[in-house]
């Protein structure tokens, strides 16, 4: 086996261990997401990677459209969910328009694979990313959220975890969705802040954070876009990464219920 293939396999197995091998992860994630969605809801998993979020959503009875452009992971997802009719796997990137894009792949740490060139430039000089190398590049097909909605319907929940490309994904969306989550990085907050700006262009949202893999809401009260952007700009209280959850402001019953969860 060549060194390149061995590195790729090592990175793949590392992701499987992180997202499928940790005891209690499915239970925690399912309990958390169960406060957001119901059986039968349509959900999009943009940047599905190893499929842990798709697995949890499917466990709750959701219909899931999972998108993952890394070929090795897309093939794994197609195999892993082969008997689950509620899950559709699409080996595509998602962005502002349809066509083709260049995927910057880190074989050793595939969780950092991204379409965003700016993310690669910033991450290369960010603490915690010094050992990351994007040594492989691949042209992959790209679609938009609007096109996915036209084909599959409007989702109740859309998770977007695409390493600094979140705002570009939202540029391909023209209607506000009920619930959206985006990844943030504490040391590189600008992509998430840019995504929050785009979300507010789509509609009025309220926000909360779920740091790391906690599967808990950080704030007792849901916040405005400015309050969340200021929190990110100030360093997210030292949290290295996590997800920002956005719920439409007119979903008062849902927000009231989630306030009790937080």
Residue 1: the pLDDT is 62
Residue 12 has pLDDT above 70, yes or no: yes
Report pLDDT digits (tens) over 108-131.
999 999 999 999 988 877 777 877
Q: What is the mean pLDDT of residues 11-24?
A: 88
Q: What is the mean pLDDT of residues 48-65?
A: 97
Q: What is the mean pLDDT of residues 235-247?
A: 95
Distance between CA atoms of residues 181 and 235, nearest Å: 19
Residue 17 has pLDDT above 80, yes or no: yes
Residue 151 has pLDDT above 70, yes or no: yes
The tokens for 91 are 């080996």
Between strands 179-185 and 241-248, the pairing is: antiparallel
Distance between CA atoms of residues 163 and 133, nearest Å: 14
Q: What is the mean pLDDT of residues 19-33?
A: 91
Q: What is the mean pLDDT of residues 79-95?
A: 98
Residues of the chain above pLDDT 70, percent: 99
pLDDT band at residue 262 under the 50/70/90 scheme: low
Query: What DSSP element (H or E) covers 175?
Result: none
Residue 123: the pLDDT is 82
Residues of the chain above pLDDT 90, percent: 83
Query: Max alpha carbon distance in the chain (Å)?
Result: 56
Q: What mean pLDDT, rounded, does the chain reach? A: 94
Q: What is the mean pLDDT of residues 56-79?
A: 98
Report pLDDT digits (tens) over 155-209.
999 999 999 999 999 999 999 999 999 999 998 999 999 999 999 999 999 999 9
């Amino acid at each position: 086996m060549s060194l390149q293939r061995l590195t790729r396999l090592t990175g793949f197995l590392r992701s499987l261990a992180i997202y499928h091998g940790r005891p209690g992860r499915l239970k925690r994630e399912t309990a958390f997401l169960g406060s957001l969605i119901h059986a039968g809801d349509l959900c999009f998993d943009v940047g599905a990677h190893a499929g842990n979020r798709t697995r949890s959503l499917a466990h709750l009875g959701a219909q899931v459209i999972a998108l993952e452009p890394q070929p090795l992971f897309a093939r794994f997802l197609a195999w892993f969910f082969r008997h689950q009719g509620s899950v559709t796997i699409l080996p595509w990137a998602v962005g502002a328009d349809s066509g083709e894009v260049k995927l910057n792949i880190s074989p050793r740490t595939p969780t950092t694979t991204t379409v965003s060139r700016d993310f690669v430039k910033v991450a290369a000089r960010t603490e915690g990313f010094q050992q990351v190398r994007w040594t492989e590049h691949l042209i992959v097909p790209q679609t938009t959220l609007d096109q996915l909605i036209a084909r599959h319907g409007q989702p109740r929940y859309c998770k977007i975890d695409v390493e600094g490309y979140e705002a570009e994904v939202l540029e391909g969306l023209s209607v506000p969705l009920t619930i959206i989550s985006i990844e943030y990085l504490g040391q590189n907050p600008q992509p998430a802040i840019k995504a929050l700006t785009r979300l507010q262009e789509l509609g009025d949202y309220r926000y909360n954070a779920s740091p790391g893999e906690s599967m808990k809401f950080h704030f007792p009260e849901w916040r405005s876009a400015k309050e969340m952007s200021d929190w990110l700009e100030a360093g997210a209280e030292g949290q290295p990464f996590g997800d920002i959850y956005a719920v439409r402001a007119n979903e008062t019953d849902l927000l009231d219920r989630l306030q009790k969860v937080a």
